[in-house]
Structure 1
Amino acid sequence: MRWRYCRPSREVSLFAIVEGPLVVGEIISGAFRPDCGAVATFIGTTREDATEGARVEYLEYEAYRPMADRKLAEIGREIAERWDVREVRIVHRIGRVGLGEPSVVIVVAAPRRGAAFEASRYAIERIKQVVPIWKREVWSDGYVWVGSQVGTRPAARALR
Structure 2
Amino acid sequence: METKKKKHKVLLEGPVQPSFIADSIAKHSSKTDIGAHAIFLGQVRADAKEGKAVKAIEYSAYPEMAESILSEIREDLFSRYPITCMHIYHSVGTVKAGEISLFVFVSCKHRKESFDALRDIVELLKAKVPVWKKEIYEDESHVWV
Aligned to 1:18: 12
- In 2: Cα distance, 1:69 partner to 1:13 partner: 10
The residue correspondences of 1:1-160 to structure 2 (distance < 5 A) are: 7=5, 14=8, 16-22=10-16, 23-32=20-29, 33-141=31-139, 142-146=141-145
- In 1: Cα distance, 2:42 partner to 2:61 partner: 17
CA change 1:16–1:127 in 2 (3 A) is same
Tell me the TM-score normalized by structure 2.
0.86
Q: Are the equivalent residues in 1 in contact too, given 2:53–2:138 (CA < 8 A)?
A: yes
Q: Are the equivalent residues in 2 in contact too, given 1:39–1:113 (CA < 8 A)?
A: yes
Tell me the TM-score normalized by structure 1.
0.78
- In 2: Cα distance, 1:126 partner to 1:144 partner: 24
Unaligned runs of 5+ in 2: none
CA change 1:74–1:31 in 2 (3 A) is farther
RMSD: 1.9
Q: Deviations over 1:28-54 (max 9, x none)?
A: 333442111000000001011113311
Q: CA deviation at 1:13?
A: 7.8
Report which stretch shifted further, 133-142 or 78-87: 133-142
- In 1: Cα distance, 2:75 partner to 2:99 partner: 28
Richer in helix (by share) = 2
CA change 1:69–1:116 in 2 (3 A) is same
- In 2: Cα distance, 1:29 partner to 1:67 partner: 30
**Quick one: higher RCO (CA 8 Å, sep 6+), 1 or 2?**
2
Q: Are the equivalent residues in 1 in contact too, given 2:36–2:110 (CA < 8 A)?
A: yes
Identity %: 36
